[in-house]
Structure 1
Amino acid sequence: MPHVYLSRLRCLCWLLALPLAAAAQTAGPRSVGQKSAGAPVRPAALPARPDAATRYRAGKAQLDQGNYAAALQQLEPLAQPPARFARAADAAYLSAVAAARLRQWPEAEQLLNLLRTEYPAYPNLPDALLLQGQVSFEQQDFDTALKALALLPPARLAPEREALKANYLPRLSDRGAWQRLLRRYPDDAALGRAYAERLVFGGAYTDADRPQLDELIAKFGLDRARYAPRPRAAKKSSYNVAVLLPFELNDPSWQTQRKNQFVTDLYAGLRLAQDSLQRAGRALQLFAYDTGGDTLMLKQVLAQPELAGMDLLIGPIYKSSAKLLGRYAREHQIVCVNPLSQDGDLVLDNPWHYLFGPSAATQGRVAAQFALNTFGPGRPGVILHEDSKDDADFATAYKTAYEAQGGKISLVRRFDPDVEESLNAAFAGLDLPNTSHLVVASDNRRPGPPVLGLLQRQPAATRPALLCPGSWLENPRLDISQLTDPGVFFVQPKYYDESGPGYRRFRQLYVQRQRLPPSMYANQGFEMLLYFGAALFQYGPAFQASLASAGPVPGAVFEGQSYAGGAHDNQVVPIVKLNNLELQVLR
């Protein structure tokens, strides 16, 4: 295998946080040109089955182009010993890379086990061990990951190996698991440093940890000043909250103001929650900072010394800025809450960073539990999802959770909602009579009509149920009769009861102040500060452990909040259906 090609694949192996490319769609049949008049028509010759070498080259080309599903289909059969292919080891490794890029971690692990068992003399085995580390980390198997990485020769792939550890080890939260790993790998500097950071910056430190922390500092030459535990923040009678949002006040044009109306609404909801807390005797001050549309202004804001004295940070909106603020929150040990993101990766390795709403992965996991309880494991389910990170995360979490509980997913397909051919291919050839339910993950308005039309053409006796996003309820392309079908269910994390006393009171106060009804963003701003503001007064600024052990809290507007078990995104995900033109909460 050429050295340049291998080097590029190494990058593909461990930088899997990048968005995944769409799986290649199967090409349709080629048209046959017409013969000239009078010419004899001969039957077309059947195409010859491509030989193994041709399939291998085609699979490598597909992998090169980012068509990972097509690459896996071409390469995996060549990796099996019965194929007797001369480059079977390379095919196994490249198949594992393709499976990893599709986030099919169990399949990638099987291929890597095949490679190491059947082809132990593979010259590029270090690359496979590096990929094994990533695959095991992704499946929360930290012991196997460290064991695989320890087999790498010391001089091979050292930067990539350490980068993997730095990326994944902070995601481990169980103290017992940390202690077991430290006993098994006592000389692993990355592991020791990661645990020291967990103790000092993760809010897990107690006085009983002092001897072990001192030992780690001495053994691995850590900066004692940096790893000195800071005293826990005590409860106060008043708290300061910084709101870092892209108000873009430097651009007063109507286009910018209209584009940023959601930011203004979000902040208006925060201000109303501040008033509610004040009326309850909880003094809380809001300090608004304009972060602009890029990270440059945010960096300038973070350089202001008063920010380090805040008790809570809220914001920002854009992902690049969210990562930057998350690092700041960790370094200064201030809880930061992202108001809108569904990307659970933002908070995976940061105990000081929270999502206000449920991540896409949590939504997928909860939806899978609901589906298994409601539809049963008798027939398999089918998942169709948009080719975006959030929807891919939803689909992966759904499939993993559903199959872990005894269910089966027979098919997972990606689609691009803006490409007609991709939509048509996603919905073609589905075995609906033998499917218990269909899951469609896409907020785009285009998939709804063909999906519901396809289901309605199916006889009621064999029609599968449908799980789809709550945003479909606002899709003007869908008829109300389609949405009220008894087999249609909605994953609606933003559900709220308009007739509930909490929402009615909030709406009344909001209209009095703003002279217009609240938007969804105003709802979110109000609920977010009401919940986290109350947590400040109840537990103090370092409230992570308290939230982890607390049960769900009913919301004033939404169904509720829960960060039980150490979760850093909301675990409350309502599943609803439309019954007699009213939404009914099923979970």
Structure 2
Amino acid sequence: MSKFLFLLLFVVSLLQASAQDFHKQFKQAKDLYEGKQYSAAMAAFKPLTVYDQANPFPEYASFYYALSANQLGYGSVAKDMFLQIKKLYPTWDQMQEVNYWLTKLYFDQGDIFQALKVAATVTGPSLQTGLTELKRYYLGKITDSETLKMVLEDYPEEREAGRALLKILGQQPAHLQETSMMELLITKFNLPREKLVAVEAPKPVFKDTYRVALLMPFLAATLDPSPVVKRNQFVLDIYDGVKLAADSLRKQGINLEIVAYDNERSPELTRKILAQPELKSADVIVGPLFPEEAKPVLEFALTNQIGTLVNPASNTIDFAPHPFSFLFQPSHETLGIRSAEWVAEHVRRKNCLVYYGETVKDSVMAFAFIKRALELGVKVVYAEEVHKENSAGILTNLVSATEYDEWKNPLQFKLKKDSLGSIFVASDNELIYSKVINGVETRKDSIVVIGQETWLTDTSIDYAKFERTQVSLAAPNYHALNSPAYTQFRKKFIQKHGLMPGEYATLGYEVTMMLGQFFSK
């Protein structure tokens, strides 16, 4: 009995001595950490991280080992140790601290979404201030607004993501700002507009009368009262449409003062007109119509902050190089994007071919279509730039038959029937789109062809063929002839001029009605 008691006392004393050693080692390691000797601290904490029945410090030693590694820039080592703590000691009462530091480490490594996922588990009141500062710092470093929008999709209540997004949007030029998104963020998260929005959109100024300056080649000196079509008839037609719209707007209580300047298609005369002080009082300038005259007008508009609609019949992006110049016609890029969105919404089979011509505008439209289509889940299985030399390949792709009926009519093709949803043709080159249409007509399947409104000016293709082959056209200048608005315009125009309104008279009317509606809002 005495031997057993002696052995028991001996074991107890060993355990006490061992525990005293662990306490001593932990204190020494902690002193090294607090003395910022992080390498030595890691070495001292390392043996204490191993589980031992007599060791009361494995969780704390692991924690400080990770902190020391983090101080030395060993982020991956620190993260692995924190994850090990979560796995081995899931009920440890300091787990909130572990998750706090894991949040920081994920942020450091650029894993924003994982950082926010872990941050959501940090609920301790004492850690919230530090957690908010972490989020503000790291989310504030993101420069891509789309990334922050994705963050808000996954974490819609994340105020610091909203703050960071508002700051980015508020730095954009006023005419590019997503004002509705900005207002939503300010309201939802109670964010300080004056601190986060660096570029404030100008506040609207309402007037009793707005001045619209038309800067166009009226060629007044060459005009005569004869009914003969003038060489600048399209300009005169635009003017007729503008005046008719101004009269219609006046009856709605929207007053436009139309002031016409004849620049005679001369850059020198254009500069002289711009030198007149009265032009600075214009609220908007419409024109000129040609590139060589546009440059001084665009410079004048930017200097004097006057809205300018250069050539309402053009979609050349060079006519809208700054915040005070605008396009009435959609750009080629916009046409490609909207066409892709139409395909994604209306065509059942989400795979398509893309053909485009050699011009820059064709390439811009095609690549804008492809980019947007892929974003919307439409698979572009093939895209080709078509030249005269390889144009025959369109029919080869579409109508290479593999089966025939008894009369040699194709039954099946190398490109299987109904295997394709659509074909987008980014070109107004008749050589390209006629081959596409003929190929689809031969196939007699469900392919939808998306093209351009300019195809309608080509008299070599019967309109019935467009209908048979399910052709849909991007047509920003389409007018529903039986719509109440167009019927009323046509009636007024006939009453005033005694003839049907043409393309340019309609354009002048639409542009002016649009301006009037903008001014009224």
Relative to 1, partners in 2 of residues 1:235 and 1:268: Cα closer, same or farther, differing over 3 Å?
A: same
Tell me how far 1:242 sits from its aligned partner. 0.3
Relative to 1, partners in 2 of residues 1:294 and 1:178: Cα closer, same or farther, differing over 3 Å?
A: farther
Would you say 1:408 and 2:376 are equivalent positions?
A: no
Tell me how far 1:457 sits from its aligned partner. 1.8
Judge conservation of contact 2:353–2:380 (CA < 8 Å) in 1: yes
Distance in 1 of aligned mates of 2:355 and 2:217: 34
**Offset from partner CA, 1:114-151 (integer Å, 9 cap, x none):** xxxxxxxxxxxxxxxxxxxxxxxxxxx9948xxxxxxx
Distance in 2 of aligned mates of 1:453 and 1:442: 16
Relative to 1, partners in 2 of residues 1:316 and 1:391: Cα closer, same or farther, differing over 3 Å?
A: farther
Distance in 2 of aligned mates of 1:468 and 1:231: 39
**Structure 2 residue aligned with 1:396:** 367
**Structure 2 residue aligned with 1:438:** 423
Relative to 1, partners in 2 of residues 1:350 and 1:436: Cα closer, same or farther, differing over 3 Å?
A: same
Letter in 2 for 1:456: E
Letter in 2 for 1:473: L
Match of residue 234, structure 2, among 262, 273, 281: 262
SS of residue matched to 1:468: strand
Would you say 1:342 and 2:315 are equivalent positions?
A: yes
Q: Which moved more, 1:257-266 or 1:361-370?
A: 257-266
Match of residue 262, structure 2, among 274, 283, 290: 290
Tell me how far 1:286 sits from its aligned partner. 0.6
**Structure 2 residue aligned with 1:354:** 326
Distance in 1 of aligned mates of 2:394 and 2:267: 38
**Structure 2 residue aligned with 1:247:** 218
Would you say 1:503 and 2:475 are equivalent positions?
A: no
Tell me how far 1:233 sits from its aligned partner. 6.4
TM-score normalised by the chain length of structure 2: 0.55
Tell me how far 1:424 sits from its aligned partner. 3.5
Relative to 1, partners in 2 of residues 1:533 and 1:232: Cα closer, same or farther, differing over 3 Å?
A: same
**Offset from partner CA, 1:338-387 (integer Å, 9 cap, x none):** 3122234543x533222223222222111111112222454x31112233
Would you say 1:480 and 2:475 are equivalent positions?
A: no
TM-score normalised by the chain length of structure 1: 0.50
Task: Report the number of matched residues.
Answer: 335
Distance in 2 of aligned mates of 1:446 and 1:201: 38
SS of residue matched to 2:309: strand
Relative to 1, partners in 2 of residues 1:325 and 1:426: Cα closer, same or farther, differing over 3 Å?
A: farther
Alignment of 1:209-224 (within 5 A): none
Alignment of 1:180-579 (within 5 A): 180=168, 198=173, 234-249=205-220, 258-338=230-310, 339-344=312-317, 346-347=319-320, 350-376=322-348, 378=350, 380-415=351-386, 420-421=388-389, 423-424=391-392, 428-430=396-398, 432-433=415-416, 434-458=419-443, 460-461=444-445, 464-485=447-468, 487-536=470-519, 538-539=520-521
Judge conservation of contact 1:322–1:346 (CA < 8 Å) in 2: yes
Distance in 1 of aligned mates of 2:343 and 2:264: 42
Q: Sequence identity of aligned pairs in percent?
A: 25
Alignment of 1:82-97 (within 5 A): none
- Structure with the higher helix share, 1 or 2: 2
Distance in 1 of aligned mates of 2:477 and 2:168: 40
Judge conservation of contact 2:209–2:256 (CA < 8 Å) in 1: yes
SS of residue matched to 1:383: strand
Unaligned runs of 5+ in 2: 1-140, 145-161, 180-191, 399-413
Distance in 1 of aligned mates of 2:212 and 2:271: 18
Letter in 2 for 1:506: F
Alignment of 1:42-121 (within 5 A): none
SS of residue matched to 1:421: coil
What value does the CA root-mean-square deviation take over the aligned residues? 4.0
Judge conservation of contact 2:217–2:264 (CA < 8 Å) in 1: yes
**Structure 2 residue aligned with 1:100:** none
- RCO greater where, 1 or 2, for CA within 8 Å and sep 6 or more? 1
Judge conservation of contact 1:413–1:426 (CA < 8 Å) in 2: no
Distance in 1 of aligned mates of 2:163 and 2:290: 33
Judge conservation of contact 2:175–2:323 (CA < 8 Å) in 1: no
Letter in 2 for 1:357: Q
Distance in 2 of aligned mates of 1:329 and 1:499: 38
**Offset from partner CA, 1:438-467 (integer Å, 9 cap, x none):** 111223444443332222222x24x52211
Relative to 1, partners in 2 of residues 1:365 and 1:534: Cα closer, same or farther, differing over 3 Å?
A: same
Tell me how far 1:282 sits from its aligned partner. 2.6
Unaligned runs of 5+ in 1: 1-140, 145-173, 183-194, 217-226, 540-587
Structure with greater Cα Rg: 2
